[in-house]
Structure 1
Amino acid sequence: MALTKDVKAELIAVRDPRPNVRVAETTALLRFAGGLHSIAGRVAVEAEVDDRRLAIRTARDIAEIYGVRPELAHIQASGAREGERFAVRVVNGGETLARQTGLLDNRRRPVRGLPNKLTTGNRDDLAAIWRGAFLAAGSVSEPGRSASLDIACPSGEAGMALVGAAHRIGIQAKQREVRGVPRVVVRDAEAIRAMLLAMGAVQAASSWDEMRQRREVRAGVNRLVNFDDANLRRSAQAAVAACARVERALEILGDDVPDHLKQAGDLRLAHRDASLDELGHHADPPLTKDAVAGRIRRLLAMADKRATAEGLPGTESAVPTQETVA
């Protein structure tokens, strides 16, 4: 929670003067922080946020960009929600604002996703969409096995629009449903860092990366301290054997190795302690762990066949003894 607050505090201070960027951010914030309501038969636009500074900034942006003056309201904490909440509400001129931001279409029907002109914009517009969505309903967890950058979405269509925007920036994001709520999630550590940077949380991205590196070093030290564990020892021996066989296979085949098999072999040697699933994530384009395993098997089989035909030692000859590994 503290990390999320730090990221939001930094993003609130990001002020891009370009009108198209401000429109993209404000539209996304309104879409993910609230939506449309009917008050006394009139269409009202309302966004509910968890930071007073964000509420004031949002109200100012709406007034400056669209020429309407929002109302600000303080919402007391309830049993279902912890902490203060603030509402930015536009009743007079609400329908016009809804049309201008794409929350309503030309037939006065609510739009469930995001306007197409925003999701097909340039990189800065797409980053602004993510910034607005994160300020409205985002969270980020500390580095670790379950690290994620997560945004709760008002609809599946809004989630898919956010996923598409991330992909256009070059960052992998996925949509899933948690307890009936659509969510867009970024899980890969490098992708989380890249998204923080894209949104404008430069300091938070640096802090997050430093925290990740400290944890990785600590985890590495712990693995070395407990290296006498039998399962870990067997895993280390298997990794050494696999890398030795791959090195021998590439040596036997030389320039005759097919590119896709060489890629798999190079991945194995570049990331010696990685699992097959992790190797697949490092591939470009990404591969499944079965695909990586299959390519490495074919590489070894091709090399062993060549070695047998030419009377050379095969790949197994390169595997060190257990005493050597130990």
Structure 2
Amino acid sequence: MPLTADVKAELIAVRDPRPSARVAELTALLRFSGGLHSIANRVAVEAQLDSEQLARRAARDLLEIYGVRPELHHVQGSGGRAGGHFAVRVIEGGETLARQTGLLDQRRRPVRGLPNKLTTGSRDDLAAIWRGAFLAGGSLTDPGRSASLEIACPSPEAAMALVGAGHRIGIPAKAREVRGVPRVVVRDGDAIRTALTEMGAQRTAAEWDQLRQRREVRAGVNRLVNFDDANLRRSAQAAVAACARVERALEILGDTVPEHLKEAGDLRLAHRDASLDELGHHADPPLTKDAVAGRIRRLLAMADKKAEIDGIPGTESAVPAGAE
């Protein structure tokens, strides 16, 4: 997804200098990209990331913040995961790191959501949580009916924690399960822009919003064109039906048709696509729209009454199928 790659490239370049924000982002990145594993009966912390640049940044942050030097591995893709991914793994000192980041609680139990100290942090810390979570498992689709910003979550508890953090900074996210995977989803266009901006992807947010506005304008134009086309079709069908009924009325009445009604009928047939107002201007002397409409209405009524008396098809019978 080009948009997803654009967002992640911009977010990787965001460097919040505040220690608490750096910890919040790194913890969320670890939590949403893998988390805890047991290797040789030891607690290991591992993040599975989709780019070497992000993996190297995570490794650098682990070294700078916690003083641990992780292993980096390129895992070849298999199945639907083309290109593979990069694993950032800490085995030696993994349990200590897990405790420091809050992935393990004081009783050595895995934290299924996010550490409470993070989700109750400052606005910058909450934005950093979202940034780390998106870098780990986020995606952004093109603007449109199905536009969404989504983050795959390791557990329903993590999804709810992320939703809560989002609400505190104005991101109206919802937790959903999609194909068995807990996800946090943002669908409204304005909300998606807010989420991108809060995470620090201002440039992508502006580009996404411009694309959204262009598509909305295009969709609006298409709706108007379709509306006009529909109106034109209805007008054409109505004109065909009206002319067919007038022709049948003149045929039914023959020489018995009153002269003023015959003139109105002849005007309708001579100017098939004209409006009633235009027909009035063609009359001699000119007539109002209501006068023309009244005369044509009386012509049809008179013909239908005669047809009923004579036992023959009325004016409606002359209307072609599809032109009713």
Q: When the two structures are superposed, what TM-score results if normalisation uses the length of structure 1?
A: 0.70
Counterpart Cα distance in 2 of 1:25 and 1:195: 15
Q: State the match for 1:269 in structure 2.
A: none
Counterpart Cα distance in 2 of 1:145 and 1:190: 13
Q: State the match for 1:22 in structure 2.
A: 22
Counterpart Cα distance in 1 of 2:171 and 2:4: 20
1:139 deviates by 0.1
The letter of the residue matching 2:73 is A
Percent same amino acid at aligned positions? 79
Q: State the match for 2:44 in structure 1.
A: 44
RMSD of aligned C-alpha atoms? 1.5
Q: State the match for 2:187 in structure 1.
A: 187
- After TM superposition, list the pairs within 5 Å mapping 1:204-243 onto structure 2: 204-228=204-228
1:83 deviates by 2.2
Counterpart Cα distance in 1 of 2:121 and 2:133: 16
Q: Deviations over 1:107-166 (max 9, x none)?
A: 111110000110011111000000000000000001000000000000000000000001
Counterpart Cα distance in 1 of 2:228 and 2:18: 59
Counterpart Cα distance in 1 of 2:52 and 2:68: 19
The letter of the residue matching 1:180 is G
- After TM superposition, list the pairs within 5 Å mapping 1:240-255 onto structure 2: none
Structure 2 portions without partners, runs of 5+: 235-324
The letter of the residue matching 1:62 is L
Q: State the match for 1:170 in structure 2.
A: 170
Counterpart Cα distance in 1 of 2:92 and 2:33: 19
1:229 deviates by 5.8
SS in 1 for 2:11: helix
Q: State the match for 2:112 in structure 1.
A: 112
Structure 1 portions without partners, runs of 5+: 235-326
Counterpart Cα distance in 1 of 2:83 and 2:152: 18
Counterpart Cα distance in 2 of 1:226 and 1:159: 42
- After TM superposition, list the pairs within 5 Å mapping 1:139-150 onto structure 2: 139-150=139-150
Q: State the match for 1:60 in structure 2.
A: 60
- After TM superposition, list the pairs within 5 Å mapping 1:85-104 onto structure 2: 85-104=85-104
Larger radius of gyration, structure 1 or 2?
2
Kindly indicate whether the alpha-carbon contact (under 8 Å) linking 2:8 and 2:135 is maintained by their aligned counterparts in 1. yes
1:72 deviates by 0.4
1:226 deviates by 1.0
Counterpart Cα distance in 2 of 1:80 and 1:107: 38
The letter of the residue matching 1:28 is A
Counterpart Cα distance in 2 of 1:42 and 1:80: 31
Kindly indicate whether the alpha-carbon contact (under 8 Å) linking 2:7 and 2:201 is maintained by their aligned counterparts in 1. yes
**After TM superposition, what 4+ stretches of structure 1 lie above 6 angstroms from structure 2?**
none
Kindly indicate whether the alpha-carbon contact (under 8 Å) linking 2:78 and 2:84 is maintained by their aligned counterparts in 1. no
1:84 deviates by 2.8
Q: State the match for 1:69 in structure 2.
A: 69
The letter of the residue matching 2:127 is A
1:40 deviates by 1.2
Counterpart Cα distance in 2 of 1:144 and 1:9: 23
Q: State the match for 2:8 in structure 1.
A: 8
Counterpart Cα distance in 2 of 1:154 and 1:40: 23
Q: State the match for 2:122 in structure 1.
A: 122
**Which range moved further: 63-72 or 80-89?**
80-89
Kindly indicate whether the alpha-carbon contact (under 8 Å) linking 2:153 and 2:181 is maintained by their aligned counterparts in 1. yes
SS in 1 for 2:177: strand
